[in-house]
């Protein structure tokens, strides 16, 4: 059991440092509540959870008053920074989870990005447990879920035949091209690459197949943590290429899942050697 026990406070600080990085990039991308327009403009083709969010008039209420929206953003950012300073205060994790979910739902509505409505919240859950043993069990459960998420994505690409359609990748690029053209400069290396891939569907599809194989590799994570360094490298490669080619948000969203594949037990002594004051943080006995 000892080898699975994590230093709760150290890992909580690490997780919410990643959340803080995500929020910083989201702010510069106009993703905070006080930066949204009123009335909030949303993508019409959304699932029932997003529609319920709109029908309850939650985003409309938050964006209708600048000071309400700003207060919500301050609470969100403040609770995140507070958890890095005081990781043992689990009630802050509850406050942050509520605030982050409200911000995340509004962000997805505005950016026409209909991602999972609960995925980014899962890394908040371990911080709600005070005892190290409960925290560790919850963290490893989230890690397994992350492995399943990526493996499932690759498996569905095969099951639904995406890897067998020559134009699959080209069609995906075309789907995101109009939004990119509206936001990006008229000429860029990124745009040249998109046009090149559209003009060379065989090469584009080979990238799609490579991405599928990469996602299937996450099956390893179900059986061992020994290769988490490999999964972390593949994770960063996958999302970096995804953001560059398909404009999928990474630093403001998926970067959070990097926490699942970091070897916190090996990282801790390295961080302590740089900042000896952290050596006072000891994991609780279970």
Average pLDDT over residues 133-148: 93
pLDDT at 285: 47
Average pLDDT over residues 104-111: 73
pLDDT tier for residue 214 given thresholds of 50, 70 and 90: very high
* Average pLDDT score over the chain: 83
pLDDT at 115: 60
Average pLDDT over residues 30-57: 70
Angle (CA) 145 80 50, round 5°: 55
CB 267 within 8 A of CB 11: no
Residue 32 — φ and ψ, nearest 5°?
-100, 155
pLDDT at 254: 72
Tell the residue number behind the tokens 């745009």, with chain if given: 191
In whole angstroms, give the CA distance from residue 211 to residue 172.
Answer: 13
pLDDT tens readout for residues 237-272: 998 888 888 877 666 667 778 899 999 888 888 877
pLDDT tier for residue 5 given thresholds of 50, 70 and 90: confident
pLDDT at 234: 93
In whole angstroms, give the CA distance from residue 38 to residue 61.
Answer: 9
Percent of the chain with pLDDT over 70: 84
pLDDT tier for residue 45 given thresholds of 50, 70 and 90: low
pLDDT at 240: 86
Average pLDDT over residues 103-108: 78
Quickly list H helices, 30-130. 48-55, 58-64, 66-85, 90-110
Confidence check: pLDDT of 204 > 50? yes
Question: 3-class SS at 156?
Answer: helix
pLDDT at 144: 94
């Amino acid at each position: 059991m000892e080898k699975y026990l994590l230093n709760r406070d150290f890992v909580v600080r690490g997780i919410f440092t990643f959340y803080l990085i995500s929020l910083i990039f989201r702010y510069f991308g106009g993703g905070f509540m006080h930066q949204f327009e009123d009335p909030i403009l949303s993508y019409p083709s959304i699932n029932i959870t997003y529609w319920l969010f709109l029908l309850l008039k939650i985003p409309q209420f938050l964006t209708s008053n600048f000071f309400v929206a700003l207060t919500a953003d301050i609470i969100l950012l403040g609770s995140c920074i507070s958890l890095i300073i005081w990781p043992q205060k689990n009630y802050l994790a509850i406050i942050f989870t509520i605030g982050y979910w409200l911000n995340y739902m509004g962000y997805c509505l505005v950016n026409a990005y209909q991602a999972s409505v609960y995925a980014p919240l899962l890394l908040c859950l371990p911080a709600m447990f005070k005892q190290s043993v409960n925290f560790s069990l919850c963290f490893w459960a989230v890690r397994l879920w992350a492995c399943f998420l990526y493996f499932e994505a690759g498996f569905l690409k095969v099951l639904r035949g995406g890897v067998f359609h020559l134009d699959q990748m080209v069609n995906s690029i075309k789907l995101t091209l109009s939004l990119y053209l509206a936001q990006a400069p008229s000429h860029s290396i990124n745009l040249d690459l998109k046009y090149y891939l559209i003009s060379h569907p065989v090469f584009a599809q080979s990238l799609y197949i490579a991405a599928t194989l990469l996602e299937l590799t996450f099956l390893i994570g179900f059986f061992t943590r020994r290769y988490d360094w490999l999964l972390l490298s593949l994770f960063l490669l996958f999302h970096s290429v995804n953001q560059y080619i398909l404009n999928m948000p990474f630093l403001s969203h998926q970067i959070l899942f990097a926490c699942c594949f970091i070897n916190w037990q090996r990282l801790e002594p390295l961080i302590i050697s740089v900042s000896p004051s952290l050596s006072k943080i000891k994991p609780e006995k279970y």
